Chains A and B, each alone.
Chain A
Amino acid sequence: MLLEVENLQTSFRTAAGFLRAVDGFSFHVADGETVALVGESGCGKTATALSLLGLIPPSQGVIAGTVRWRGTDLFALGDRAMRDIRGKEIGMIFQDPSASLNPVLTIGHQIGEILRRHQQLDRRAATERAVDLLDLVGVPEPHQCLRDYPHRLSGGLQQRVTLALAMACNPKLLIADEPTSALDATIQAQILDLITRLKRSTGVAILLITHDIGVVAEIADRVMVMFAGRKVEDAPVADLFRSPRHPYTLALLAAAPRLQRSSGNESNQGAGSPAFGASRISASGCTYAARCPLATDLCRTLAPVVETKAQQHFVACHFASREASAA
Chain B
Amino acid sequence: MSALLEVHDLKKHFVKPAPAFAPKPIVYAVDGVSFAIARGETLALVGESGCGKTTLGRSVLGLHGITAGRIVWNGRRIDHLSAGALRPLRRQVQAVFQDSNRSLDPRMTVGDLIAEPLRNFGLVGGEQQTEQRVADLLDLVRLARTYARRRPHQLSGGERQRVGLARALAPRPDLIVCDEAVSALDTFTKLAIINLLKEIQRTLGTALLFIGHDLAVVDSIAHRIAVMYLGKIVEIGTREQIIAAPKHPYTAALLSAVLAPDPTTRGERIVLQGELPGAAHPPTGCRFHTRCPRDFARCHIEEPRLAQDSSDRDTVGQQVACHLYNGSGA
Please report A residues at the B interface, Cβ cutoff 8 Å: 40-41, 140, 154-157, 184-190, 192-193, 196, 211-220, 237-238, 241, 251-253, 255-263, 265, 267, 269, 271-273, 275-276
Contacts and interface: CB of A to CB of B under 8 A. Distances in A.
Contacts of A238: 263-264
Interface in B226-267: 239-240, 243-244, 253-267
Contacts of A260: 219-220, 243
Contact of A272 (B156, B191, B263): B191
A293 B231 CA distance: 47
B275 A241 contact: no
Closest 9 A/B residue pairs (Cβ): A214-B259, A272-B192, A257-B216, A185-B257, A256-B261, A184-B48, A213-B261, A189-B257, A217-B263
B232 to A, nearest CB: 17
A272 B189 contact: yes
Given A186-B48, A272-B195, A273-B188, A217 B243 contact: no
A275 B272 contact: no
Interface string B201-230: 000000000000111110111100000000
Contacts of B269: 189
A238 B263 CA distance: 6
A255 B219 CA distance: 14
A181 to B, nearest CB: 9
A276 to B, nearest CB: 7
Interface of B: 48-49, 156-159, 186-192, 195, 213-217, 219-222, 239-240, 243-244, 253-267, 269, 271-275
A237 B263 contact: yes
Contacts of B214: 185, 257
B258 A214 contact: yes
A255 B195 CA distance: 11
Nearest to A237: B263
A187 B250 CA distance: 13
A192 B259 CA distance: 10
A269 B191 contact: yes
B192 A41 contact: no
25 contacts: A154-B275, A156-B275, A185-B214, A185-B257, A186-B257, A187-B275, A189-B256, A190-B272, A193-B271, A217-B261, A217-B266, A218-B267, A237-B263, A238-B263, A255-B188, A257-B190, A258-B216, A259-B255, A260-B243, A265-B239, A269-B191, A271-B192, A272-B188, A273-B188, A275-B158
Contacts of B253: 186
Given A185-B215, A190-B272, A213-B187, A258 B261 contact: yes
A241 B264 CA distance: 9
Contact of B195 (A155, A262, A263, A271): A271
A241 B263 contact: yes
Contacts of A154: 275
B259 A217 contact: yes
B220 A276 contact: no
Contacts of A187: 48, 275
B192 A265 contact: no
Given A184-B48, A252-B188, A275-B156, 6 more contacts: A40-B188, A157-B275, A185-B254, A186-B254, A217-B259, A259-B216
A49 to B, nearest CB: 17
Contacts of B190: 257
Contacts of B257: 185-186, 188-189
- The residue among B216, B217, B265, B273 with the most chain A CB atoms within 10 A of its own CB is B216
Nearest to B222: A265
B158 A253 contact: no
Contacts of A220: 263
A94 to B, nearest CB: 16
Nearest to A260: B219
Contacts of B275: 154, 156-157, 187
